[in-house]
Chains A and B, each alone.
Chain A
Amino acid sequence: MTDTQNNETIAALVEPFDSTVVSERAYASSNSSYFMISIPRDEWVPFAESAKAIGFDTFSDLFAIDHFTDAPRYEVVLNLVSMRPVERIVVSTRVPYDDPVVPTLTNVFQGANFYEREAYDMMGIDFPGHPDLTRILMPDDWVGHPLRKDYDIGAIPVEFKLGSTGE
């Protein structure tokens, strides 16, 4: 696939959606590139559906970023692959601190299930409509969301036989 054809695919994808920002990035040590697309939250599911319809039917990744000081605070990132033509899009949307809610994609991509659970577990993003939004990596009774920037790294005092715990 040539670059112009790829650009046409992306142009056809983002055409129906307003306020979409697209930038093309090149991989390191490679001649290939991928696209980063940022969309508003209310277009999240429709965008994923039309991306799937246009050929981006392989689910690759979904996760959340905590921007902490920059409002809106959280960012949810979706990574989709089109196998033919070979193309990758990294779609992101920002959500505010007091309303960290993104509609679920499990009805579009079954694979979003574990990834949304992980984003909920690690960053506290709520995905209404998810079939089983429970913690996945941390224990069920864990308090807090570890990858948030205001969550301390923490340490467990280790008791050495010949040492002190520093207390």
Chain B
Amino acid sequence: MSDVTEDTVDEVSDDAASQSVEESRRTRHSIWVSGTEERMPFAEATDEGAQELLPRDEDPALEIQRGIAVDDDYVIPEHVDDSERQIINMGPQHPSTHGVLRLQLELEGEMVRRVKPIIGYLHTGMEKTAETLNYSQGSTNVTRMDYLSPFANELAYSLTVEQLLGIGVPPRASAIRVLMVELNRVASHLLSSATMGMDVGALSMMIYGWREREICLDFFEKVTGLRMNHNYIRPGGVAAELPDGWEDDVTSLIERVNEGVDEYEELLNENPIWLDRTLGVGVLIPDEVKQYGVTGPVARASGVDWDLRKETPYCGYEKYEFDVPLGKHGDAFDRYKVRIDEIRESLRIASQIIETIPLGDYRNVDPKVTPPPRARIDESMEALIHHFKLFTQGVVVPPGEAFQAVEGPRGELGCHIVSKGGSRPWRMRWRAPSFAAVQALPPMMTDSMVADVIAALASTDPVLGDVDR
């Protein structure tokens, strides 16, 4: 193209006219390079930004990006001339990066030799924001972190605050929490399977997954008033009693989702294209799982038997009968299969809750934590004072430090709160499962094909709101 342009300009041979033609073409066909004032011709302007992938001999993190920091059985690349390597950016606007994840890939033909995940595009400073919100407002903030598992976020937060306060919750509140978190796990895994199908090319799977997820979201809306970002599980219990007839809703949900899951398995388990795209793709060995702190379905697909619901049961999980599905190979197919099996186990827990849920309060009645019922305010001065204090000052938490983790849909979701007294946390730290999963992408992806990058990424199911917080 540029040759043609020069020829045309030469033919005109008028300085002013040629300049303006040149200028207008350049304006249209050039882009800005970050950090410079110069315009670069389009072909040269493949700028990698500030996080550029350094030349191999200068790169201090080479081992990590090549995924060979942990001993495993990957193929070590033979010597290839540097001119055959190229660096491309996948994301941050790539549709299969599930948000705004950017992967720098060093390619040799179609083989990926180096991977550098670059994150932070969705960083909104939620840990800093949390320091300015009081404990009653906190759950509104944390529910927006991992936007596909809001109940798990709220639960981790509420349990940590309860640990600091030294209070418990009534058994009914615990059962409601478990019900909501398990149905949330179902919704999240359905979405994950749907998007994984979409990324790999099974477009019907995408529609099916969304269809069944909608049933779960309808139930959430009925209970909490919102489809996402519920702020339903709060320190001291839950926000409201389950609506009348919830047992029937959950029963029909269990039935319909189970039918749907059978349909997915029929569609995918024996499907040769699906198997070709997922078997042996994105393998993570147990040692890598432990070193990188990967948890949840990704770890369990690698055969690491670690589920906080079994290991350190909270909210009465020890009362329910369920199994922890484990994979053997640690590849994308096992992750898909573990998620599908987890959906069934979660539904099993939900059906047990319908039968065993105890009667009683849905929240703690400690007046220092829970606002009084509206009617009490008219009758009691104490109730009025507590109501006023709770909504102006918030819950006052004694000084201390507490950590609590729950098993979210993506793995171990931990909350660490440092309190120096008062009604606002001094520091709130979130141990996000997706953050660890993104860090483990290089060992998963190096020395595989470019197409497998997408399948591997989809199978880890990262939520960028959780990664960047």
A17 CA / B403 CA spacing, docked (Å): 24
Once the chains bind, are B292 and A111 in contact (CB under 8 Å)?
A: yes
A141-164 contacts to B (CB < 8 Å): 141, 146-147, 153
| Chain A residue at smallest Cβ distance from B287 | A57
A31-84 contacts to B (CB < 8 Å): 31-32, 34, 36, 57-61, 63, 65-66, 77, 79, 81, 83
* Inter-chain contacts of B316 with A (CB < 8 A): 29
Once the chains bind, are A114 and B435 in contact (CB under 8 Å)?
A: yes
Interface check B159, CB cutoff 8 A: yes
> Among B60, B174, B439, B440, which residue has its beta carbon within 8 angstroms of that of A132?
B60
A55 CA / B468 CA spacing, docked (Å): 30
**Cβ of A81 to closest chain B Cβ, rounded Å:** 8
Contact sample, A vs B, 24 pairs, CB 8 Å cutoff: A28-B160, A28-B163, A29-B159, A29-B174, A29-B315, A31-B313, A32-B312, A57-B291, A61-B293, A61-B416, A65-B426, A65-B427, A66-B427, A79-B403, A86-B312, A109-B293, A110-B64, A114-B436, A137-B120, A137-B468, A138-B123, A139-B120, A141-B50, A153-B132
Once the chains bind, are B312 and A60 in contact (CB under 8 Å)?
A: no
> Among A66, A77, A109, A139, which residue has its beta carbon within 8 angstroms of that of B291?
A109
Given A28-B163, A60-B431, A146-B128, residue A113 in contact with residue B439 (CB < 8 A): yes
Contact with A along B366-402 (1 / 0, CB 8 A): 0000000000000000000000000000000000011
Interface residues on chain A, number (Cβ under 8 Å): 45
The number of A-B residue pairs with CB atoms under 8 Å apart is: 135
A86 CA / B169 CA spacing, docked (Å): 25
* Inter-chain contacts of B405 with A (CB < 8 A): 60
* Inter-chain contacts of B314 with A (CB < 8 A): 27-30, 32
Once the chains bind, are B291 and A138 in contact (CB under 8 Å)?
A: no
Once the chains bind, are A59 and B292 in contact (CB under 8 Å)?
A: yes
Interface check B311, CB cutoff 8 A: yes
Question: Measuring CB to CB, which residues of chain A are less than 8 angstroms from any residue of chain B?
Answer: 25-32, 34, 36, 57-61, 63, 65-66, 77, 79, 81, 83, 86, 88, 90, 109-111, 113-115, 122, 131-132, 134-141, 146-147, 153
A99 CA / B137 CA spacing, docked (Å): 35
A143 CA / B438 CA spacing, docked (Å): 25
Once the chains bind, are A110 and B69 in contact (CB under 8 Å)?
A: yes
Once the chains bind, are A34 and B403 in contact (CB under 8 Å)?
A: yes
Interface check B404, CB cutoff 8 A: yes
